[in-house]
Amino acid sequence: MAATTFLLELGVEELPPHAIDTLSDALADGVRHGLAEADIEHGAIRAYATPRRLAVQVHELADKQPDREVERRGPALAAAFKEGQPTKAAEGFARSCGVDVSELIHLETDKGTWLGYRERRPGEATKNLLPDIVSKAIAALPVPKNMRWGASRTEFSRPVHWLVMLFGSDVVAAEALGLTAGRTTFGHRFHAPQAIELAHADDYLSAMENAWVLADREQRRERIREQVLAEAEVQEATAVIDEDLLTEVSGLVEWPVALTGSFDERFLEVPPECLISSMKANQKYFHLLDEQGRLRPLFITIANIDSADPQQVIEGNERVIRPRLADAAFFFDTDRNRPLADRIPELASVLFQQQLGSLTDKAHRNAAVAAFIAGQIDGDVGHARRAAELAKCDLVTEMVLEFPELQGTMGRYYAIHDGEPEEVAQALEEQYLPRFATDAIPVTRTGLALALADRLDTLTGIFGIGARPTGTKDPFALRRAAIGVLNILVKGELDLDLRELLELATAQHQELPYAGGLVDEVLGYMLDRFRAWAQDEGIDAEVYLAVRSRPVTRPLDFARRLRAVAAFAGRDEAAALAAANKRVANILAKQDEPIPASVDPQRLQEDAEKSLHQAVMARQERVMPLFAEGRYQEALDALASLRQPVDAFFDQVMVMAEDPEIRANRLALLAALQALFLEVADISLLQQ
């Protein structure tokens, strides 16, 4: 079977930059899926994309499907022949197969014998199958928003202008989105606007580069990165390359050219975060820092043209950025004319959630919980209350209304300007930490208290009105809030009882429709998030389940148990002891009679049970102080030595002895053994 390269390219007007990667990958996946369904062999599949094109290149694509053996089942044998003669059912089936009844075969199945036909069908030519594969792949694209253009009824994300489908050097006869496939493509809109005839599908990347187009997304991203770093080196500065911005800029250009511009130094009096947000959000610029990490009055823009006079391009960008930065400076000056505290009344008109009240209501609830937490972690209760009162005030400032991503950051700047305590000011920014699972947590005690209080209020409130997250919908980001609480408590080594905190947070709400069982529900939901936390730590699901089975309500304690059991699971003794605990759990679960609370040494008969009893008592004396101090790994390491006496016990002792007193005593010994491990986790679940 011969193989060659297949090329698909869809030419469009400029696509939304954030959608390009998704659409490109989806198109490649659609082609891959179609080829798999058609059972066509192929090599590597490459996805390419620019603002003006989506392309897929399939290497070593077989020119036809493999021949296939097709089996058809007809009527049951009993219905196919009567008195040795074929019935109409048999004759009709034979006609449908294009053969005589004598050429049919018998198919044996678990439900009886059937009349059947088996034939070898030659594989279809790939060129004949590609039009349908491509049409389905295009139809399945996750287009953010369809549009129509001209008089056409065709719909797509942007108007489409050309379609290339080449199988080797041959054009594939196909139509899609109202276009007829050909070999004509187009290069850069300005540098190479003329039509380009592709001779072969293998020529695509080189032909595009010759036409001032870098079709390879990763190559284009890295070209931008290299150019930005090179421009920064010329300026003896450090370029800050935000990966999301890099991806967005890559989706705006086909032939990137980095240019450095500047702005007035007077704008540096504005907080750097404001200037950076303005440059990134509005102009897609990369900013530069000096050796001390301070913002330089410079920016790097990525042009989509290699201008003969780059200075004109630079000056044009400088003219555009100047009023943007002037706006930021104006917002900063205007906001500082009023202290943050003066904005507290305005929060009453900003709704947090219809059933949970305004931001003023939330601030009052947060203040009570934050003050309690601060008292528990040696923080300043007064600072915690003040920070909670001011926490949301920057949301009604001009700067944050223009740049929402600066919430918290501007609160810190304005609080410092107002003369608020430094820790209060810092807490206003830290309340949003961690923003994601691997993000840093607050540094200050006040920040820790406020960040916890805000999330706990949201969790109890939203659950309390019945707006629980589902598998696909979490509009209030409750999963992120729950994981944020866990991360703060664990990374901050705050040994707080989550149930107690949830009870306090719930009590702050005036009225919740679903208050019954609310604390248990939210607590369970939050502890369930430890599964994802454990996965991020490289801890197996079985370890999580072993710990989750115990009534642990302190996340720091939960995490210590997880790590201890994960370490124990790696020991040679773990599998045997887990199996033994599973056996013990099964035996104890079947008992109808109460099991004695303690072992009577006088009723121990066999050497193996005496040895196990001595080992359990010795280990109990050793590990109980360790449990009390949360030193679970040391405790489990000590319990690992029980493997030998446990194995000997089960090998040599009949637990369910005929004498009821001896049987009860042995069950009490097993219960004592089980209880030692249950102080940490149910290690029998490590068997799953």
Per-residue pLDDT reduced to its tens digit, 365-375 = 999 999 999 99
Residue-level pLDDT at 155? 80
The answer, yes or no, to whether residue 289 has pLDDT greater than 80, is: yes
Q: pLDDT band at residue 34, thresholds of 50, 70 and 90?
A: very high
Instruction: Name residue, tokens 């053994």.
Output: 673
Report the percent of the chain where pLDDT is more than 90. Answer: 71
Q: Which two tokens stand for residue 149?
A: 């253009």
The mean per-residue pLDDT over the stretch 316-334 comes to 95
**Is position 297 within any domain?**
yes
On the question of a cis peptide bond just before residue 159, with omega within 30 degrees of 0, the verdict is no
- Asked which of 513, 528, 543 is the last residue of a domain, the reply is 528
Looking at the fold, whether 140 and 195 belong to one and the same domain comes out as yes
Other beta carbons less than 10 A from residue 479's beta carbon: 15
AA identity, residue 68: R
Angle subtended at Cα 610 by Cα 608 and Cα 616, rounded to the nearest 5 degrees: 100
Other beta carbons less than 10 A from residue 414's beta carbon: 27
**Is position 543 within any domain?**
no
Q: How far apart are CA 286 and CA 57, in angstroms?
A: 32
Number of structural domains in the chain:
5
Q: How far apart are CA 442 and CA 448, in angstroms?
A: 5
Q: Which two tokens stand for residue 122?
A: 């030659």
Q: Tell me the Cα Rg of the chain.
A: 35
**Is position 496 within any domain?**
yes
Q: pLDDT band at residue 13, thresholds of 50, 70 and 90?
A: very high
Looking at the fold, whether 27 and 174 belong to one and the same domain comes out as yes
Map residue 171 onto helix, strand or coil.
Answer: strand
Looking at the fold, whether 36 and 140 belong to one and the same domain comes out as yes
Looking at the fold, whether 189 and 250 belong to one and the same domain comes out as no
Residue-level pLDDT at 25? 96
The mean per-residue pLDDT over the stretch 494-503 comes to 97
Per-residue pLDDT reduced to its tens digit, 86-105 = 888 888 988 988 888 888 88
- Asked which of 305, 335, 365 is the last residue of a domain, the reply is 335
The answer, yes or no, to whether residue 544 has pLDDT greater than 90, is: yes
Q: Residue 444 in contact with residue 426, Cβ under 8 Å?
A: yes
Higher pLDDT, 412 or 577: 412
**Is position 682 within any domain?**
yes
The answer, yes or no, to whether residue 399 has pLDDT greater than 70, is: yes
Looking at the fold, whether 90 and 13 belong to one and the same domain comes out as no
**Is position 538 within any domain?**
no
Looking at the fold, whether 75 and 28 belong to one and the same domain comes out as no
Looking at the fold, whether 112 and 132 belong to one and the same domain comes out as no
CATH number of the domain enclosing 176: 3.30.70
Residue-level pLDDT at 688? 59
Residue-level pLDDT at 107? 86
Residue-level pLDDT at 30? 96
Residue-level pLDDT at 241? 96
Reduced DSSP (H G I as helix, E B as strand, rest coil) percent helix, strand, coil of the chain, to 5: 55, 15, 30
Nearest to 237 by CA among 215, 218, 262, 213: 262
Q: How far apart are CA 63 and CA 154, in angstroms?
A: 31
**Is position 537 within any domain?**
no
Looking at the fold, whether 98 and 241 belong to one and the same domain comes out as no
Q: pLDDT band at residue 462, thresholds of 50, 70 and 90?
A: very high
Q: pLDDT band at residue 422, thresholds of 50, 70 and 90?
A: very high
Q: Residue 448 in contact with residue 379, Cβ under 8 Å?
A: yes
Q: How far apart are CA 406 and CA 424, in angstroms?
A: 17
Looking at the fold, whether 92 and 144 belong to one and the same domain comes out as no
- Which are the contacts of 435, defined by CB distance < 8 A and separation ≥ 6? none
CATH number of the domain enclosing 568: 1.10.730
Looking at the fold, whether 60 and 77 belong to one and the same domain comes out as no
Q: Which two tokens stand for residue 585?
A: 């759990």
Residue-level pLDDT at 686? 87
Q: pLDDT band at residue 211, thresholds of 50, 70 and 90?
A: very high
**Is position 37 within any domain?**
yes
- Which are the contacts of 44, defined by CB distance < 8 A and separation ≥ 6? 58, 59, 60
**Is position 550 within any domain?**
no
The answer, yes or no, to whether residue 150 has pLDDT greater than 80, is: no
Residue-level pLDDT at 370? 98
- Asked which of 335, 367, 396 is the last residue of a domain, the reply is 335
The answer, yes or no, to whether residue 1 has pLDDT greater than 70, is: no
Structural domain boundaries, residue 638: 561-687
CATH number of the domain enclosing 438: 1.10.3210
Residue-level pLDDT at 362? 97
Looking at the fold, whether 116 and 180 belong to one and the same domain comes out as no
Q: pLDDT band at residue 153, thresholds of 50, 70 and 90?
A: confident
Residue-level pLDDT at 254? 97
Looking at the fold, whether 393 and 499 belong to one and the same domain comes out as yes
The answer, yes or no, to whether residue 151 has pLDDT greater than 80, is: no
Per-residue pLDDT reduced to its tens digit, 629-681 = 999 999 999 999 999 998 898 888 888 888 888 888 888 998 999 999 999 99
The mean per-residue pLDDT over the stretch 180-205 comes to 96
Residue-level pLDDT at 112? 84
- What does DSSP assign to residue 653? -
Residue-level pLDDT at 109? 84
Report the percent of the chain where pLDDT is more than 70. Answer: 99
The answer, yes or no, to whether residue 404 has pLDDT greater than 80, is: yes
Q: pLDDT band at residue 487, thresholds of 50, 70 and 90?
A: very high
Residue-level pLDDT at 83? 80
Q: How far apart are CA 605 and CA 603, in angstroms?
A: 6
The mean per-residue pLDDT over the stretch 559-569 comes to 93
Nearest to 392 by CA among 351, 355, 354, 440: 351
